[in-house]
Structure 1
Amino acid sequence: MGKSDINVTQTQQIVMGFISPIIDEIVDRVSERVLAASKKEPKFYTRKEAAEILHVTLPTLARITKDGLLISKRVGSRILYEADAIDEAVKKQVVFKYRRA
């Protein structure tokens, strides 16, 4: 290793020593803003979107709602499902099988 190689390495270490705290601060601030934005407005899915996410048909989704496994909200003539409830069902891998009436 020559003298210039050592100078380059030392310069890189010095620069990274200054930049690393700045990068960490930026990451923290962006993370806080993203979390705050996602917590402010609850997301809702329509019946069709919820059925697609859960990989079920609309009648099966209606049965799931009737049985109380998912809670729906009525807004005017629309039926909406909270994203958190659907996400929890997907995370828990709840199986919504078709059954004959």
Structure 2
Amino acid sequence: MKKPSSKIREEIARLQDQLRVAETREAERIGRIALRAGIGEIDIEEAELQAAFEEIAGRFREGKGGTTGRATARKNASGGTGSETTAPLTAGAGTGSVGEA
């Protein structure tokens, strides 16, 4: 027996609410991490910041997330080579406003 369209609409509305809650929770988590990392203090355009986040997401999706400086320091102290690190994001790398001459 098929569901009536009203039941399907109710289910869609419920799932949309769940999605909004999940996205809010994820945004708050990422925002807290970004603020702790000092991103809020950097004068950077939103498009450029989004591109940097997309680059980071791509590295982690490929399994090349690297390590943080603290984890690298522990590896080096325990005999690691230190070659496991990835290049850090720098605040000034590629900065500039669109339309600057």
- Calculate the TM-score normalised by the size of structure 1: 0.37
Relative contact order: is structure 1 or structure 2 higher (C-alpha 8 Å, sep ≥ 6)? 1
Please tell me whether Structure 1 or Structure 2 has the larger radius of gyration of its CA atoms. Answer: 1
- Calculate the TM-score normalised by the size of structure 2: 0.37
Greater strand percent: which structure? 1
